[in-house]
């Protein structure tokens, strides 16, 4: 379970990196389209062509941010209840809360562009808290592994449960 | 060997997981729509089978039976134009699923009407009875024709699963209606419309006025500018190019701009222009628009008058990417920078009598648009809500013929929504508490921006079951659809049934 917890937490942190890359790619594509004489308007936006070659960046940003990360954050929160490490639940809850905030901000940007300022900063907070969550539980795993040789039978059984 | 306590713990976890999975599966399957009739929609009628309130007659679904007699109800199929009156204009339109040639651009896979997209422009005179024989030659999912903005009899409204079955390959359907109002309209499929409209199953409709227009609305020339994006290519009348209108100095041109796309289209010029009509309804005493842009909602139309300059030509930007150039065809016209200020139609033109009093409303309804995560037809996503509820648990707007209906449309989401009511024109009473002060602003497609609240009114004078939805069509797929239903009107048609009707 601890392995799963750290895995999920690192996946969230990694997915945020993908988000940053994808949105930069998308806006690069859009500016490239405009610089070559293309016109971006609502009609093009709604027909999912406004990003030019970077359109896939918008799609990735939408799917990873709107579906994948929230699901993983939820899974992390659920898994945290089976991980007996101090703070595991708390940090999973913080990550989940920040992700929910991030999604709400993301869907509100069109109506209130200034929220974009918080959306970008909050992304870094998601990475940081996900990393803290992963590191804390990994440290606990490492500490247990160091103790394991002293109590071989108990260690084996808890590994089996973890697997 | 695990201890007894461990066994109990594992058993408890197992039972909990199994219960959670089962509960999830039940919750998920309860969102599956299956075959349903729009008559079963509305608050308190969430479940498709619950039908106690309708005297048992309504659920006689799928077998298209014409008029249902049991409760004196009227079927949508009987709401037709006078069947004995001969047609003044008769057109045959054939839809095909095929490659669409885009002159000036690259061809795309889409849909054509009589071999082209856009299809032929239907022209008629106000008062004419128009008869269109629609043939589906090869549109696999079936197709229909909806007459966007024309207030016609319900049986000709063309909404698959509500007013007819989708026309299958090899099938046909006859649309008959009297063109009551002059103006600019368009037709498009209302079956799997988010694909078929985007793919080009559409065309323009121009109804000439029975009487010549007033002097201040008359123009020398008349052109249509139908906007559509084909596979990322902005086009005007199907061509990925600007439109040139040869006009002598001082001549005026009526440009009928039709926005068939999924988003708002701006119209602007560096010369003054006039907005003669919105959604097929004349503006009373329009003034010159200078340095401001006109916004046309998705699905909406605007007739704009442009005057050819004494030298060269003037460019009217339509929809951002394309222009209609009026004047000397050889003239080189630099593009005009887009105006930042928007023409506010709430205060454009001069007031005129509405013909009814919105203050004495018989029915008042709220149409509050929101957004939340949930399941729609078993599909997870961030969906639109109406009055806080997800489709199909959205309100049904019941009306009686003759009612004055007032509706408050509020957008609490982050996106603009072009709201389109079938079969009626609505007049804007106020926006965000500010009363309309210009010409009566009659619309069938109204952009409601994030945070805005519109009060609109209409007279329920066209019996039927009428869709009232967002015309950014993927939004309709994601639940932004409700209906106005007249008392006593029923439909034998169903959605998701054997006929494969999927109006959105």
Name the β-bridge partners of B184: B206
Interface of A with B in 44-103 (CB under 8 A): 44-47, 49, 66-67
Are the beta carbons of B319 and A43 separated by less than 8 Å? yes
Q: To which residue do tokens 């990694």 refer?
A: A14
Quick one: tokens of B343? 């023409």
Are the beta carbons of A110 and B450 separated by less than 8 Å? yes
What's the pLDDT score for residue B1? 66
Residues 6 or more apart whose Cβ sits within 8 Å of residue B494: B35, B36, B37, B61, B62, B161, B501
Are the beta carbons of B263 and A112 separated by less than 8 Å? no
Residues 6 or more apart whose Cβ sits within 8 Å of residue B211: none
Quick one: tokens of A96? 């989940």
Tell me the pLDDT tens digit for each residue of A7-30. Answer: 999 999 999 999 999 999 999 999
Are the beta carbons of B262 and A42 separated by less than 8 Å? yes
Are the beta carbons of B232 and A42 separated by less than 8 Å? no
Which residues of chain B lie closer than 8 angstroms to A42, CB-CB? Answer: 261-265, 298, 320, 416
CATH ID of B89-208, from 3.40.50.920, 1.10.1200.10, 1.20.1250.20, 2.60.40.420: 2.60.40.420
* CB nearest B232 (choices: A49, A66, A107): A49
User: Which chain B residue shows the shortest CA-CA distance from A161?
Assistant: B10
Report how far residue B164's alpha carbon sits from residue B501's, in angstroms, rounded to the nearest whole number: 9
Report how far residue A16's alpha carbon sits from residue A24's, in angstroms, rounded to the nearest whole number: 12
pLDDT reading at A150 higher than 50 = yes
Report how far residue A5's alpha carbon sits from residue A20's, in angstroms, rounded to the nearest whole number: 23
What's the pLDDT score for residue A35? 86
Shortest alpha-carbon distance between residue B328 and chain A (Å) = 25
Report how far residue B37's alpha carbon sits from residue B441's, in angstroms, rounded to the nearest whole number: 33
Tell me the pLDDT tens digit for each residue of B256-284. Answer: 999 999 999 999 999 999 999 999 999 99
What's the pLDDT score for residue A146? 82
What's the pLDDT score for residue B271? 95
Are the beta carbons of A109 and B414 separated by less than 8 Å? yes
Name the β-bridge partners of B396: B483
What's the pLDDT score for residue B364? 97
Tell me the pLDDT tens digit for each residue of A104-135. Answer: 999 989 888 999 999 999 999 999 999 999 99
Helix (H) or strand (E) holding A100: helix A88-108
What is the total residue count of chain B?
504
Give the rounded distance of the alpha carbon of B475 from its chain centre: 12
Which residues of chain B lie closer than 8 angstroms to A110, CB-CB? Answer: 414-415, 450
A108 touches chain B (CB under 8 A): yes
Q: Is the CATH number of domain B215-343 3.40.50.300?
A: no
Tell me the pLDDT tens digit for each residue of A89-105. Answer: 999 999 999 999 999 99
Domain-by-domain residue ranges, chain A?
2-162
What's the pLDDT score for residue B59? 34
pLDDT reading at A153 higher than 90 = no
Whether residue A108 is preceded by a cis peptide bond, meaning omega within 30 degrees of 0, is no
Extract long-range pairs of A71-76: CB within 8 Å, 24+ residues apart: A72/A8, A72/A11, A72/A12, A72/A15, A73/A12, A73/A99, A73/A100, A75/A8, A76/A5, A76/A8, A76/A9, A76/A12, A76/A133
What's the pLDDT score for residue B97? 98
**B409 touches B448 (CB < 8 A):** yes
Q: What is the DSSP letter of B149?
A: T
- Most A CBs within 10 A among B2, B5, B232, hence the mutation to make, goes to B232
- CATH code of the domain occupying B30-77+348-504: 2.60.40.420
Q: To which residue do tokens 């699901």 refer?
A: A71
What's the pLDDT score for residue B71? 58
pLDDT reading at A149 higher than 90 = no
**B340 touches B428 (CB < 8 A):** no
Burial of B91 (C-beta count, 10 Å sphere; 0-12/13-18/19+)? middle
Are the beta carbons of A43 and B227 separated by less than 8 Å? yes
What's the pLDDT score for residue A60? 97
Shortest alpha-carbon distance between residue A43 and chain B (Å) = 5
Please tell me the number of Cα atoms within 13 Å of A62 on its side-chain side: 10
Shortest alpha-carbon distance between residue B262 and chain A (Å) = 5
Are the beta carbons of A46 and B472 separated by less than 8 Å? yes
What's the pLDDT score for residue B185? 98
Quick one: tokens of B75? 């079927």
List the single range of A46-60, A144-158, B468-482 with lowest mean pLDDT: A144-158
% helix, strand, coil for chain B, step of 5: 10, 40, 50
DSSP letters, B435-466, are EP-SS--EESEEEE-TT-EEEEEEE--S-SEE
Listed in order, the ranges of chain B carrying CATH 2.60.40.420 are 30-77+348-504, 89-208, 215-343
Full-model pTM: 0.88
Extract the residue ranges of chain B whose pLDDT is less than 70: 1, 43-72
| Sign, CA torsion B330/B257/B353/B355 | positive
Quick one: tokens of A133? 């969550």
């Amino acid at each position: 379970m601890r392995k799963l917890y750290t895995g999920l937490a690192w996946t969230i942190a990694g997915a945020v990196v993908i988000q940053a890359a994808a949105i930069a790619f998308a806006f690069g594509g859009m500016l490239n389209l405009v610089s070559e004489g293309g016109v971006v308007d609502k009609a093009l936006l709604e027909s999912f062509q406004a990003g030019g070659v970077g359109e896939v960046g918008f799609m990735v940003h939408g799917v990873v941010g709107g579906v994948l990360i929230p699901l993983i954050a939820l899974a992390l929160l659920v898994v945290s209840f089976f991980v007996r490490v101090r703070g595991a639940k708390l940090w999973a809850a913080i990550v989940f809360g920040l992700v929910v905030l991030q999604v709400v901000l993301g869907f509100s940007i069109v109506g209130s562009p200034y929220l974009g300022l918080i959306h970008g900063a909050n992304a870094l907070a998601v990475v940081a808290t996900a990393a803290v969550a992963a590191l804390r539980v990994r440290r606990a795993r490492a500490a247990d592994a160091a103790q394991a040789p002293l109590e071989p039978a108990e260690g084996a059984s808890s590994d089996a449960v973890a697997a | 060997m695990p201890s007894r306590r461990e066994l109990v713990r594992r058993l408890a976890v197992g039972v909990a997981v199994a219960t959670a999975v089962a509960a999830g599966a039940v919750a998920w399957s309860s969102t599956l729509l299956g075959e349903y009739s729009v008559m079963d929609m509305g608050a308190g009628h969430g479940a498709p089978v619950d039908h106690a309130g309708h005297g048992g007659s309504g659920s006689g679904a799928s077998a298209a039976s014409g008029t249902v007699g049991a409760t004196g109800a009227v079927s949508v199929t009987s709401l037709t134009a006078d069947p004995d009156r001969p047609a003044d204009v008769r057109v045959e339109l054939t839809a095909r699923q095929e490659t669409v040639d885009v002159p000036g651009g690259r061809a795309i896979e889409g849909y054509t009407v009589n071999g082209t997209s856009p299809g032929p422009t239907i022209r008629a005179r106000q008062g004419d009875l128009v008869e269109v024989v629609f043939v589906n030659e090869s549109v696999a999912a079936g197709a229909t024709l909806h007459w966007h903005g024309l207030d016609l009899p319900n049986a000709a409204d063309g909404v698959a699963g509500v007013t007819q079955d989708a026309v299958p390959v090899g099938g046909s359907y006859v649309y008959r209606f009297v063109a009551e109002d002059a103006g600019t309209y368009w037709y498009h499929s209302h079956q799997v419309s988010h694909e078929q409209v985007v793919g080009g199953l559409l065309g323009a409709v121009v109804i000439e006025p029975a009487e010549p227009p007033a002097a201040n609305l008359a123009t020398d020339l008349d052109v249509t500018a139908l906007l559509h994006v084909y596979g990322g290519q902005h086009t005007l009348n199907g061509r990925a190019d600007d439109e040139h209108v040869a006009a002598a100095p001082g001549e005026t041109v009526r440009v009928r701009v039709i926005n068939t796309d999924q988003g708002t289209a701006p119209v602007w010029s560096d010369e003054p222009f006039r907005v003669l009509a919105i959604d097929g309804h004349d503006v009373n005493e329009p003034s010159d628009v200078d340095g401001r842009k006109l916004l046309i909602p998705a699905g909406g139309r605007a007739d704009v008058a442009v005057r050819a300059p004494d030298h060269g030509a003037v460019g009217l930007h339509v929809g951002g990417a394309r222009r209609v150039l009026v004047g000397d065809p050889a003239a080189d016209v630099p593009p005009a920078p887009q105006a930042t200020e928007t023409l506010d139609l709430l205060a454009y033109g001069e007031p005129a009598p509405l013909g009814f009093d919105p203050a004495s409303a018989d029915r008042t309804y709220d149409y509050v648009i929101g957004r939340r995560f949930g399941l729609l037809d078993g599909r997870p996503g961030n969906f639109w809500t109406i009055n806080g509820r997800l489709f199909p648990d959205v309100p049904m707007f019941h009306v009686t013929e003759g009612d004055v209906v007032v509706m408050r449309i509020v957008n609490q989401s982050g996106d603009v929504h072009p709201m389109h009511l079938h079969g009626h024109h609505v007049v804007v009473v106020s926006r965000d508490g500010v009363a309309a002060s210009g010409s009566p602003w009659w619309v069938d497609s109204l952009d409601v921006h994030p945070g805005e609240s519109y009060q609109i009114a209409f007279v329920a004078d066209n019996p039927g079951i009428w869709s009232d939805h967002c015309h950014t069509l993927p939004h309709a797929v994601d639940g932004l659809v409700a209906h106005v239903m007249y008392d006593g009107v029923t439909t034998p048609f169903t959605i998701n049934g054997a006929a494969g009707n999927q109006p959105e």
